[in-house]
Every structure is written in structure tokens, then in C-alpha cells.
Amino acid sequence: ASNPVINFSPGPAKLPESVLERAQKEMLNFNNTGVSVMELSHRSSDFTRIITTTENNLRKLLNIPDNYRVLFLQGGGTGQFSAIPLNLLSLKPGQTADYIVTGSWSAKAAQEAEKFGKVNLVIPKVKKYTDIPEPETWNLNPEASYVYYCANETIHGVEFQYIPETNGVPLIVDMSSNILTRQLDISKFGAIFAGAQKNIGCAGVTLVIIREDLIGKALPICPIIFDFKVQVGNNSLYNTPPTYSIYIMGLVFEWILAQGGVPEMEKKAITKSTMVYDMVDSSNGFYVCPLSKGCRSRMNVPVRIGAPEGDEAMEKKFLEEAEKNKLISLKGHRSVGGLRISLYNAVTVEETQVLVKFMKEFMDRYR
């Protein structure tokens, strides 16, 4: 490997080495155009081929039904926190939306939606995000325009292991940190969105997959750049899209297809996360993961040393020694502290083994 570090970053995150090498090879002269992808017109036939192939490969990877449209937008996941209510709140006259808040990202989305309509919190507010209450206890509003949730809370490590049942109300999901890591029935969703910088590429492009009949209801105040109808009508080319980020995403999709598609990514996600959780669970409390077992993320594993509050000096030592061993970006989010081990698609089983071995050695040295 050209790069000796192992990158467990929560995002922007590791990309497959072969994707980077291909981008490097094509950098100065893409497909005999004499220019780089960055210098191609977004209306050129070469770029049209890139965006069309990228969409088709995504459709293949996720078995996206024909009545769903795919958009490549800007504004990140945060942009969609606004775009979703701006486009979908008026699906019902009450302009109310249900939000299942299980961590800081869904909390932020709910807060943003409150600017544009009424938000109903489906589960009671909690102090610590470590669990998902049983669906039987949820306060779903049958008159809601949509139900919103975050499939994987990147900071708290809360991941849904199932698709919530909404009895016909369109289900909207933020899959920014676990898209293409689990086989899914897309027809269960009204819309799916995901920023690219974790599992599917580099920052700058946000994927939206939306059911056709939900398009065309944007509030009059919706900025045109976020109007799904305008973007769909122009195949994501209403204005200049993030061309290079779309190209990199396309390379990642080709890589996933070559690896065996989503089933293979899912298998690896289970293998990698099980290795880490087994290490934590067999450490006799040296390492602690605060999450309930039923909602433990396969993508982001939050870990404390010296729980429940965490021994910050020991955690600092862990991060320093890890870095000396070329294991990088393991620090927990500043809002929760501790460690966070991110295991996106590009992180290999072998790399995870190296980390687990380091965790074991660190524990044996300091327990």
C-alpha cells in the first residue's frame, strides 16, 4: 500500500485505494478528452456518460424500482434537513411531519423542519441516545405528511436494524452513514438521502432517491436549487452539479459492484463490527459501548475506556498510541468524547483485525 495508515475516520472517510488510483490515472486526461473531469462541461457527452452510468450502477446496486428518481444534489445531508420539509410538508393539509429522533442528526433535522411546519416527536426526548424505544410505544400521527428517521446516527452509533412501519405514510430516511451497507427493499421508502463522504465518495454531492408521486409539492418558499421537481425535470443539471464528486461516486459504485455488490458490503459490515463488539464485550469492562445491543451500529462504534463517564487520560493515551501505530481518526465526536471506530465499506476486514489486536494489546498493558 502506498499509504501506511489505517483510516477509521467518521467522514470524510477512507476511499478504496483502487478508486483513488483510477482517479489519479485519469486525472490529467479523462477518456482521451485531453482534460480532467473537473474541466469538462456538465453538458458534455463525456459528463453525461459519467452521470448516467453512475445512476444506472446505483439502480443496479440497490434494485431501485422504476417509479423512483435519483438526484445528485449539493448542500450535504444538512441541505436535505431543509429540502425534505420544503418539498414534502405539504403532502397533507396539516403540514405536520413525524420525526423519530434517535441521535444528534435526526434532532438537527427535526429542528430545521420546525422552521417550515409542525413537527411531532414520535418518541419522547431523551438525555442520552443509547436505545430505540419499541415501535409499539411510538406516537405516530396518521395525518402526518411523512415520517422521518436517521438509519444510522453517526455520532451516537444508534443504527436501525429494521425499516419502521408507517402504515402508508411516506417514510423518509437519512442514510448518510450506512447507505450501500445493507440490502433494502427500496419500495418501503418515500425518499432516501445520503451525503457521499462516508460510504460512497467524497464530500460535495448528496444522493436523493425519491418516489415519483411525492415530487411536485414544494412549498412556494422552497429555493429552486432544492425543488425536487425542478431537479428531476433537469436530470440534476438545473445548474452546475458537483461534477467531480459525482465522478468519484461513480468509481465507488463500480468498485462495490466488482466486490460483489451490497450483499458483500453487508457481510463485511457484520464481520468487522462483530469483531470490534466482541473485543469490547470480552474486555470485562475495560472497553464499554454504551448502546443497547439491538441498535448497535455496524458503521460507527462508540467506545469509552473507564466507563460510565470515561477516563479521559486513558482515552487520550489510547488515541496517541493508536496514532503511533498508524491507526488514525479514532477520536469520538466532540459532543460525546471517548473513541469512535468507523467501519465504512472501504475499511477492510484485515484493517479491522489490526485495530482489534491493538485494542487487546492496549488493554493488556494498562488494565
Which residues lie near ligand PMP (CB under 6 A)? 11, 76-78, 105, 150, 154, 174, 176-177, 195
Q: Between residues 90 and 152, which has the closer beta carbon with respect to ligand PMP?
A: 152
Q: What is the full DSSP assignment across 204-220? A: T-EEEEEEGGG-S---T
Q: Between residues 92 and 198, which has the closer beta carbon with respect to ligand PMP?
A: 198
Q: Between residues 109 and 305, which has the closer beta carbon with respect to ligand PMP?
A: 109
Please identify which of the residues 14, 92, 98, 174 carries the catalytic annotation: 174
Q: How far apart are CB 68 and ligand PMP at their closest, in Å?
A: 20
Q: What is the 3-state secondary structure (H, E, C) of 77-91?
A: HHHHHHHHHHHHHHH
Give the separation between CA 334 and CA 331, rounded to whole angstroms.
Answer: 8
Please identify which of the residues 92, 98, 105, 272 carries the catalytic annotation: 105
E strands of 242-351, at which residues? Answer: 287-288, 300-305, 327-328, 339-342
What lies within 8 Å, CB to CB, of 19 at 6+ separation is 248, 251, 252, 255
Q: Between residues 197 and 352, which has the closer beta carbon with respect to ligand PMP?
A: 197
Q: How far apart are CB 272 and ligand PMP at their closest, in Å?
A: 18
Give the chain's radius of gyration (CA, Å): 21
Q: Between residues 105 and 228, which has the closer beta carbon with respect to ligand PMP?
A: 105
Cβ distance 11 to 197 under 8 Å? yes
Helix, coil or strand: residue 239? coil
Please identify which of the residues 14, 92, 98, 198 carries the catalytic annotation: 198
Is residue 138 part of the annotated active site? The answer reads no
Q: What is the full DSSP assignment across 91-134? A: GSTT-EEEEE--SHHHHHHHHHHTTTSEEEESS---SS------
Q: Residue 365 has which C-alpha cell?
A: 498493558
Is residue 198 part of the annotated active site? The answer reads yes
Is residue 317 part of the annotated active site? The answer reads no
Distances (CA, A) of 249 to 51, 318, 330: 10, 33, 24
Q: Which residues are catalytic?
A: 105, 174, 198
